[in-house]
Amino acid sequence: MIPARVEERTSPGRDGVPPSRGAGRLPSQAALAEFVLALGDDSLVLGQRLSEWCGRAPFLEEDIAIANVALDYLGRAEKFYRYVSELGGGRRSVDEIAFLRDSRAYRNLLIFELPVGDFARTMARQLMVDAFHLPYFRRLSRSTNARIAAIAAKAVKESRYHLKRSRDWVLRLGDGTEESHAKIQSAFDALWGYCPEMFAMAGDEMALLDSGVAVDRSAMKTDWESEMKDVLSEATLTTPGNEWAISGGRDGVHTEHHGYLLAEMQFMQRAYPGLDW
């Protein structure tokens, strides 16, 4: 597996657009398809990861709750992929888009593909992701593309619930026992450098920004950092520094975990071609 890029965070400069996919280089229809595909990949991969907790969560109610969160993401992925299929004239089905691509063809952000780890690690990731998703989908629900706006509007309702859950868990673990505090702090320290990629604008997003189809992710970073600091402070946790950042997901350059995830996720469809979603 080709390793993702690691960048030293020595200056506050804005994350750049990948050279191979710069703004304005994609035709509008192709840019739209790439943009929607990336959103679908984000949802599918994180939904798959969260589903790994089914039958393994700390107690029954949480087992059901986290399974429902996973289903929210999988349902969202299906909607995005269906739109991608339609944009391509139906040449690829939703199942083919979801399950019959190689790792380099997936555009999900790296933070979504990382192993779930222990429960503290999962909740740390969820807080960081949920704190981004809620304001992001609120903005995207005002997209000039009615199809994207409708999917985003439903995601807002889901993300509101997701954020409440993950925030409550981080507060409980951070201000709990010495062991739970240490585990959740360690989780944030290990995952923090994956977060800047959430605010980097890919070439397809830049191409769709002026028309109002996409939204400016980079403009959301300051508010996200402020909210994270408030929650971590309340949880008696230390906000990690910005010494490093890692990226590559939007260019199809993934961590070593991605291939193993796809091998499990795609097994049935590849072994028994033609299975329905």
- Rounded to 5°, angle at Cα 36 from 30 and 39: 140
Any idea which residue has 């830049």 for tokens? 206
Is 116 a member of any domain? yes
Is 140 a member of any domain? yes
For residue 133, the model assigns a pLDDT of: 98
What confidence category does residue 20 fall into, taking pLDDT thresholds of 50, 70 and 90? very low
Work out the average pLDDT over 239-266: 96
Work out the average pLDDT over 226-230: 98
pLDDT over threshold 60, residue 50:
yes
Closest CA to 194 of 270, 138, 263, 132: 132
Note whether 85 and 94 are within 8 A (CB): yes
Is 21 a member of any domain? no
For residue 220, the model assigns a pLDDT of: 97
Q: pLDDT > 70: what percent of the chain? A: 90
For residue 26, the model assigns a pLDDT of: 58
Alpha-helical runs (H) found in the chain: 28-51, 60-87, 94-99, 110-113, 119-140, 146-174, 178-191, 203-209, 221-234, 257-265, 267-271
Q: Print the domain residue range for 242.
A: 26-271
Alpha-helical runs (H) found in 141-220: 146-174, 178-191, 203-209
Is 86 a member of any domain? yes
Is 7 a member of any domain? no
Structural domain total, the chain? 1
Is 84 a member of any domain? yes
Note whether 215 and 139 are within 8 A (CB): yes
What confidence category does residue 28 fall into, taking pLDDT thresholds of 50, 70 and 90? confident
Is 57 a member of any domain? yes
Q: What is the CATH number of the domain that holds 246?
A: 1.20.1260.10
Q: Which of the pair, 37 or 6, is modelled with greater confidence?
A: 37
For residue 42, the model assigns a pLDDT of: 98
Is 16 a member of any domain? no
